Structure 1
Amino acid sequence: MKNIHCLVFGHDFKVTRNVTYHVKEYACKTCNKQLTTNSSGNLIELTPKLKEINDVLERIHHKRLSKTNLQRFNCELLVFSH
């Protein structure tokens, strides 16, 4: 019954996960079909292999963000000399 709604009215996708700034994962609210963005920015069906790739990509993205935030924090520290 849920698939009939999507066939008639189309899918109603919502963002379920932000992997990076440009890569996101989507799921249909009614039938739970999952999609993700590929390297060209097009939506493609989320397979287990793409899910694993997104996990690794998210880990690298967060590591890079924390590293740049740490460097930015170190640059803003005040240095006192006597």
Structure 2
Amino acid sequence: MKKIFCNIFGHHYSVSKKVTLHIKEYKCVHCGKEVTTDVSGNLSVLTPELQEINATLEDLYQKRHRTTHTQQVA
């Protein structure tokens, strides 16, 4: 029934995870379809490969952000 709603009205995505400032993962609140932003800023289906890429980007972003923040405080 929920997929029928999405077929008629389209997906209603909400942010499920912020990877970086520009890359986010989204999930449809009705059917659970997961997508992410790609290099061009378009939405792409969240495949296991893209999940791994996003996880790596998130780790690098967090390490860089922590290092920059720590240096600014000192």
TM norm structure 1: 0.89
- Tell me the TM-score normalised to structure 2 length: 0.98
1:77 corresponds in structure 2 to: none
How far off is 1:17 after superposition? Answer: 0.3
- Could you list the runs of 4 or more consecutive aligned residues of structure 1 that deviate by over 2 angstroms after TM superposition? none
Q: Could you tell me which residue of structure 2 aligns to residue 47 of structure 1?
A: 47
Report the counterpart of residue 6 of structure 2 in structure 1. Answer: 6
Query: Is the aligned partner of 1:30 residue 2:33?
Result: no
RMSD over equivalenced CA pairs, Å? 0.4
How many matched pairs? 74
Give ranges in structure 2 of 5+ residues lacking alignment.
none
Within 5 Å, give how 1:66-77 maps onto structure 2: 66-74=66-74
Note the residue ranges of structure 1 that are not aligned, 5 or more in a row: 75-82
* Structure having the higher Rg: 1
